[in-house]
Amino acid sequence: MKQFQGRTAVITGAGSGFGLEVARLAAGRGMQLVLCDVQADALARAAAEFEGRVPVLACQVDVAKADSMEALAAEVQQRFGAPHFVFNNAGVGSGGLIWENTLADWEWVLGVNLMGVVHGVRLFTPMMLAAAQADPQWEGHIVNTASMAGLLNPPNMGVYNVSKHAVVSLSETLYQDLALVSEQVHCSVLCPYFVPTGISQSHRNRPEDLPGGRPSRSQLISQAQIDKAVSSGKVSAADVAALVFEALEQRRFYIFSHPQALGGVQTRLEDVMQARNPSDPFSERPEIGAQLRQALRQA
């Protein structure tokens, strides 16, 4: 995409983090905003920030719910027509040893992280393709937020890893499928590393019908490690938002906040190609691996 003025952006998880920073950049480019978030107060603050600057439609949406997303798509179509930019960004975090995740953990994390993207793709892509078919000058772009955890498999983060690997696979397939049918609609996948966004505290928005229960030792350890890693991150959500818009302008598929982390991805792929057992994820920081093993093996 090269033109943004007067075009429409749909942003999920718009109340904070990447979503809010992308909304700020979109507004600065004169885009109409559809802001979606499950947290009502954060959504209201975000909408108030842009009121009077650009047209804003604020919708409290649980992206995991098909009917909620279907209502959103219908409202967007009625108000603005097909969106030009869809940022399927809403996400939640959850850690712990993979066998200790409850069914509610799986339903919550996969519901938001994966099905939220699925709903965004299945509902908005047909609208965008129809607009492109009707106008040879029309262009659109979809960005799905995954994670470096979608290209790696860090231990003690199983349910999150699974959800983000699925988003990478979905996005790569979407890229190939779009290339079969259109030159006007494109997509990217965002794979951030540890960036302060609020996702480490996403349990604040966990629905009552999928309770978390008392956290296990491994889940408490995971939470502490992620909090520390996120809080010490030097790349900001605003930095990542700028990378998203660079990808839109350059039609770049992979968006990495920390390219230096790709060494681990290369090692993982070499493990696969050579059919060798998965490499030690702590080979460069063995003290961290030793601390984690010791903490998890305590009686």
Active site residues per annotation: 160
Q: Which helix (H) or strand (E) holds 269?
A: helix 262-273
Beta strand pairing call for 254-256 and 32-37? unpaired
- Going through 49-139 in order, the beta strands assigned E by DSSP cover 56-60, 85-88
3-class state of residue 176 by DSSP: helix
Q: How many residues does the chain have?
A: 299
Residues 188/248, Cβ–Cβ less than 8 Å: yes
Q: What is the 8-class DSSP label of residue 255?
A: E
Comparing CA positions, the residue from 153, 155, 200, 161 lying closest to residue 293 is: 155
Cα–chain-centroid distance for residue 130?
25
Short-list 34, 81, 98, 89, CA closest to 63:
89
